[in-house]
Structure 1
Amino acid sequence: MPELPEVETTLRGIRPALDGRIITEVRVRNPALRWPVPDTVQQACGRTVRELRRRAKYLLIDMGGGGLMCHLGMSGSMRIVREGDPPRPHDHFDLVTDAGNCIRFHDPRRFGALLWWDTPAGDHPLLRDLGPEPLGDDFSGDHLWQRSRGLRGAVKNFVMNGHVVVGVGNIYASEALFMAGIHPTRPAGRISRARYQGLAAAIRDVLQRAVEHGGTTLRDFLDSSGTPGYFAQELLVYDREGHACFQCGTAIRRRVIGQRSSFYCIRCQR
Structure 2
Amino acid sequence: YPGEAEVGAAVLSHCPRSFIFGGTATVDHYRTNPAVQVHGPGFSKILLGDDIVDNWEQYLDLMVQSVLVNSGRSCINCSGIWASRHTREIAEALAKRLGPIEPLPPDDPKAELAAFTVSGQAEAISVDIDRALEQDGVEDATAPYHGGSRLTSQERYGYLRPTVIRCESPQLAAAGKEYMFPYVTVVECPQDKMTSSIGTTLVATGITYDEAFRQSLLEATNIDRLNLGPIPTTQINWLAPHEGNIVDFLFRARAFQMA
TM-score range, shorter chain: under 0.3
More RCO (CA 8 Å, sep 6+)? 2
The TM-score with structure 1 as length reference comes to 0.27
The TM-score with structure 2 as length reference comes to 0.27
